[in-house]
């Protein structure tokens, strides 16, 4: 018999209401009906809904109303329903079967929500969670019930909108996800479990020298090195100055196995930013290799006595490595973790320290907890749904949040092989590695995708199942050109260092099997959006001016709440008090959510200028300029808008351009006329054009906002 837990049924109004679940199997429907014994029930059934035999038989023997999704209920049915509700009865929406990807939060059709919300009745969102469907390979599905049915807050009358229902669904999903036992575990213990579980079936392939090491060997080497690290420093954090590769992987694992916190230093940042990160981290040891020190001579290296050279230490640990190779074959993951002194739980303790890219100011320390990282791996791992025969390309910097969580911890925990290369820029070599090792998942930025268009062949990228991009807005022309050339859909995503990092991403729509061809498909991608929220993450939107909550389908400041959201910047209470409210994190980005749950990013608040009282979005202005100058096919980012103070209107827009060839004044006049012809508001038109050699970009591929402002200011002077 199914184990189904229920939460919040006592909060259902005693007056009439419509219960609206995100999905509903026959067993769930029966459980809800039994839990509401004594209440007068009426079922709302989709006219074109596809139901299994048991549900169909149950519907034929139960009082119900049939409606067509997307259309208004018939007048007589509305009268019948309202009479039922006025008498204190409850109606239960019974969604038909749909085809949705693993980890989809909203499994019912949005068209049905549109019809139900037109009824001017109280709606109670019901969240049906089936956690066994989305467990990681290191989790035991037996730790979870077959389902948890959770009741959301009631939404009354005119306030009941599809957006309101979706917002409540996300809140319920977040509350349900937070109960997962995984979130209390220690990252190190889960990593040991993953390395041991997949010891011989997966491993790391270092694309720089072609060497391979299975995860069993990685585990033994990392454990041996961890023992040596404990003797090196008494500090709780250890610096790592390495690119993606075998050395970087072992260094990060060893620091965690030593019971310490890895801090991957941004070796592309300026000296001031590096010194700031080191000071904030309070570290006195840095793991690196000789070859990298020689290569990065301009980097402000700490004194040699503070450097731990991996290739010098490992030969001295040969005996310890052999002993660990033997021991890990016979000891369980739990025994290994206890042997090296790892706590049984990690929870809200700091696990990894990262620093923001500093695109708009001094880098800020983001202390991600064990809960944060394990939550995010579970969240995007459920959505990606990759398996043991898949592999991941790891070329993003380890100091970058995506490079850390997605291409370090995720493949180890889920047993995917990791193909690494120290730079995301060398796309010719990366394409060769993808072809040679049949890589499944590639994560890049639009800037790096352009490199593949120049240097890769369709045959080289044929093994890819998923091409995910983020960090900056994906131009439509680039999306279309990449898909046309390589036959792969470019799937735009979104995330922040502060959210560990993944919050949203698009995925290919699910493909039906032969017996599923008639099922309605819940979409998993929508061009122009950054995709659906990962499971267990809630979102709200507030007005940029008043800070008051508005519908999530309205444009405003994005707030997130969930187990993957960090708890504050390191030592920056002055900032933390402004970005948190009742557990919600204020991202500073502007966006909205459509009725199918797709998030649209309309810019960072820092990439808006307030001119004459109006908020002007820089990215939107850039899109207009690209269109006006016919730059859609340009390989690189060639125009950027930034803002400078203006005495009369508050701010003025400055255009940085790499394609300016003549007089900036004359080019700006010509551009102004073109933009006005396109009906672009006058306030949105740049006041000054500044020719530049190149647009400042960070190592992660993101726009260097601070660098752009510096160029604009120097030109103004």
Q: What is the pLDDT of residue 511?
A: 84
Sheet holding 417-420, edge to edge: 212-214, 203-206, 417-420, 391-394, 441-444, 466-469, 490-495, 502-505, 532-533
With H, G, I as helix, E, B as strand and everything else as coil, classify residue 562.
strand
With a CB cutoff of 8 Å and minimum separation 6, the contacts of 622 are 639, 640, 641
- Give mean pLDDT, residues 612-618: 74
Please report where in the chains the tokens 């259309």 appear, as a residue.
71
Q: What is the pLDDT of residue 513?
A: 77
Q: How far apart are alpha carbons 326 and 329 in whole angstroms?
A: 5
Sign of the CA dihedral running 255, 326, 315, 212: negative
- Give mean pLDDT, residues 629-640: 79
617 and 607 Cβ atoms separated by less than 8 Å: yes
CA angle 173, 471, 549 (to 5 degrees): 45
Q: What is the dihedral of CA 61, 65, 67, 69, to 10 degrees?
A: -80
CA angle 181, 186, 189 (to 5 degrees): 105
Please state, rounded to an integer, the average pLDDT across all residues of the chain.
Answer: 91
CA angle 585, 587, 591 (to 5 degrees): 120
- Give mean pLDDT, residues 676-697: 85
What is the β-pairing status of strands 41-46 and 90-94? parallel
Q: Which two tokens stand for residue 58?
A: 């149950």
Kindly report, residue by residue over 458-491, the tens digit of the pLDDT.
999 999 999 999 877 788 888 999 999 999 999 9
Flag the least confident range among 131-145, 319-333, 353-367, 383-397.
353-367
pLDDT band for position 159 (cuts 50, 70, 90): confident
- Nearest CA to 611 among 641, 638, 589? 641
Q: Which one-letter DSSP state was computed for residue 406?
A: I
Q: What is the pLDDT of residue 391?
A: 96
Q: Which one-letter DSSP state was computed for residue 268?
A: T
Kindly report, residue by residue over 99-135, the tens digit of the pLDDT.
999 999 999 999 999 999 999 999 999 999 998 888 8
With a CB cutoff of 8 Å and minimum separation 6, the contacts of 462 are 435, 487
Q: What is the pLDDT of residue 232?
A: 92
With a CB cutoff of 8 Å and minimum separation 6, the contacts of 449 are 467, 469, 478, 482, 490
The fraction of the chain above a pLDDT of 90, given in percent, is 66
Q: How far apart are alpha carbons 702 and 623 in whole angstroms?
A: 17
Q: How far apart are alpha carbons 528 and 596 in whole angstroms?
A: 14
Q: How far apart are alpha carbons 427 and 600 in whole angstroms?
A: 29
What is the β-pairing status of strands 17-21 and 549-550? unpaired
Kindly report, residue by residue over 206-263, the tens digit of the pLDDT.
999 999 999 999 999 999 999 999 999 999 999 999 999 999 999 999 999 999 999 9
How many Cβ atoms are within 10 Å of 3's Cβ, its own excluded?
10
CA 348 to chain centre: 20
Q: Which two tokens stand for residue 457?
A: 């062949």
pLDDT band for position 606 (cuts 50, 70, 90): low
In this predicted structure, the answer to whether residue 634 has a pLDDT above a threshold of 80 is no
159 — phi, psi (to 5°)? -80, -10
pLDDT band for position 694 (cuts 50, 70, 90): confident
Q: Which two tokens stand for residue 611?
A: 């001119």
Q: What is the pLDDT of residue 248?
A: 96
Q: What is the pLDDT of residue 623?
A: 84
387 vs 1, which has greater pLDDT? 387
523 vs 646, which has greater pLDDT? 523
CA angle 120, 125, 131 (to 5 degrees): 160
pLDDT band for position 622 (cuts 50, 70, 90): confident
494 and 504 Cβ atoms separated by less than 8 Å: yes
The fraction of the chain above a pLDDT of 70, given in percent, is 97
Q: What is the pLDDT of residue 635?
A: 61
Please report where in the chains the tokens 């807005």 appear, as a residue.
473
How many Cβ atoms are within 10 Å of 81's Cβ, its own excluded?
22
428 and 457 Cβ atoms separated by less than 8 Å: no
Q: How far apart are alpha carbons 682 and 573 in whole angstroms?
A: 40
Kindly report, residue by residue over 409-447, the tens digit of the pLDDT.
999 999 999 999 999 889 999 999 999 999 999 999 888
Biggest alpha carbon distance in the chain? Answer: 84
In this predicted structure, the answer to whether residue 649 has a pLDDT above a threshold of 80 is no
Domains present along the chain, CATH in parentheses: 4-179 (no CATH), 187-506 (3.40.50.12780), 536-597 (2.30.38.10), 606-716 (3.30.300.30)
With H, G, I as helix, E, B as strand and everything else as coil, classify residue 436.
helix
Burial zone of 538 (CB within 10 Å; 0-12 exposed, 13-18 middle, 19+ buried): buried
Q: What is the pLDDT of residue 588?
A: 86
Q: How far apart are alpha carbons 307 and 226 in whole angstroms?
A: 15
Q: What is the pLDDT of residue 323?
A: 97
pLDDT band for position 612 (cuts 50, 70, 90): low
Kindly report, residue by residue over 347-382, the tens digit of the pLDDT.
999 999 999 865 555 789 999 999 999 999 999 998
pLDDT band for position 346 (cuts 50, 70, 90): very high
């Amino acid at each position: 018999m199914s184990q189904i837990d229920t939460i919040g049924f006592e909060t259902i109004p005693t007056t009439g209401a419509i219960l609206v679940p995100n999905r509903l199997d026959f067993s769930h429907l029966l459980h809800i009906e039994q839990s509401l014994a004594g209440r007068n029930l009426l079922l709302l059934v989709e006219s074109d809904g596809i139901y299994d035999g048991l549900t169909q038989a149950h519907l034929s023997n139960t009082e119900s109303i049939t409606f067509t999704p997307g259309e208004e209920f018939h007048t007589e049915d509305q009268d019948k329903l309202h009479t039922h509700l006025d008498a204190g009865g409850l109606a239960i929406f019974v969604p038909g079967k749909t085809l949705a990807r693993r980890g989809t939060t909203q499994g019912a059709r949005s068209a049905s929500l549109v019809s139900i919300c037109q009824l001017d009745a109280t709606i109670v969102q019901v969240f049906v969670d089936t956690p066994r469907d989305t467990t990681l390979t290191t989790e035991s599905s037996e730790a979870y019930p077959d389902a948890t049915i959770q009741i959301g807050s009631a939404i009354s009358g005119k306030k009941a909108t599809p957006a309101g229902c979706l917002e409540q669904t996300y809140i319920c999903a977040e509350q349900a996800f937070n109960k997962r036992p995984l979130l209390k575990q220690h990252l190190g213990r889960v990593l040991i479990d993953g390395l041991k579980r997949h010891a011989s079936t997966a491993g790391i392939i270092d694309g720089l020298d072609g060497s391979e090491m299975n995860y069993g060997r990685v585990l033994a080497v990392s454990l041996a090195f961890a023992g040596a690290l404990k003797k090196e420093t008494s500090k709780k954090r250890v610096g790592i100055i390495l690119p993606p590769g075998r050395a970087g992987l072992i260094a990060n694992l060893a620091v965690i196995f030593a019971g310490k916190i890895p801090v991957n230093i941004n070796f592309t940042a300026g000296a001031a930013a590096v010194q700031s990160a080191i000071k904030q981290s309070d570290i006195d040891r840095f793991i690196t290799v000789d070859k990298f020190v020689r290569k990065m001579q301009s980097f402000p290296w700490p004194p040699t006595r503070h450097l731990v050279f991996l290739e010098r230490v490992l030969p001295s640990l040969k005996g310890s490595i052999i002993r660990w190779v033997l021991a890990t074959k016979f000891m369980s993951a739990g025994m290994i973790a206890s042997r090296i002194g790892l706590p049984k739980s990690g929870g809200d303790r700091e696990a990894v320290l990262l620093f923001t890219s500093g695109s708009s100011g001094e880098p800020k320390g983001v202390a991600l907890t064990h809960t944060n990282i394990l939550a995010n791996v579970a969240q995007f791992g459920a959505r990606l749904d990759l398996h043991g025969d898949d592999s991941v390309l790891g070329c993003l910097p380890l100091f970058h949040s995506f490079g850390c969580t997605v291409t370090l911890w995720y493949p180890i925990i889920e047993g995917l092989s990791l193909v690494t290369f120290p730079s995301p820029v060398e796309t010719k070599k990366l394409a060769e590695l993808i072809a040679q090792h049949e890589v499944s998942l590639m994560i890049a930025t639009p800037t790096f995708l352009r490199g593949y268009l120049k240097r890769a062949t369709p045959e080289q990228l044929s093994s890819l199942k998923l091409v995910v991009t983020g960090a900056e807005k994906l131009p439509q022309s680039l999306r279309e050109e990449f898909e046309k050339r390589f036959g792969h859909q470019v799937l735009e995503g979104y995330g922040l260092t502060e959210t560990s990092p993944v919050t949203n991403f698009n995925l290919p729509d699910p493909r039906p099997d032969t017996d599923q061809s008639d099922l309605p498909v819940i979409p998993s991608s929508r061009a122009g959006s950054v995709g659906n929220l990962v499971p267990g993450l809630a979102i709200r939107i507030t007005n940029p001016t008043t800070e008051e909550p508005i519908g999530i389908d309205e444009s405003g400041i994005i707030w997130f709440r969930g187990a993957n959201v960090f708890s504050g910047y390191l030592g920056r209470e002055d900032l933390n008090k402004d970005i948190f409210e009742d557990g919600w994190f204020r991202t500073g980005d502007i966006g909205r959510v459509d009725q199918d749950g797709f998030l649209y990013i309309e810019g960072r608040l820092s990439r808006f200028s307030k001119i004459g009282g109006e908020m002007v979005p820089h990215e939107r202005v850039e899109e207009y300029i690209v269109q006006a100058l016919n730059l859609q096919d340009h390989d690189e980012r060639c125009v950027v808008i930034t803002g400078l103070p203006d005495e009369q209107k508050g701010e003025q827009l400055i255009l940085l351009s790499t394609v300016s060839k003549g007089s900036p004044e004359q080019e700006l006049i010509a551009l102004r006329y073109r933009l006005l012809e396109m009906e672009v508001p006058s306030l949105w038109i740049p006041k000054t054009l500044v020719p530049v050699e190149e647009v400042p970009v960070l190592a992660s591929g993101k726009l260097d906002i601070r660098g752009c402002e510096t160029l604009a200011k120097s030109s103004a002077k």
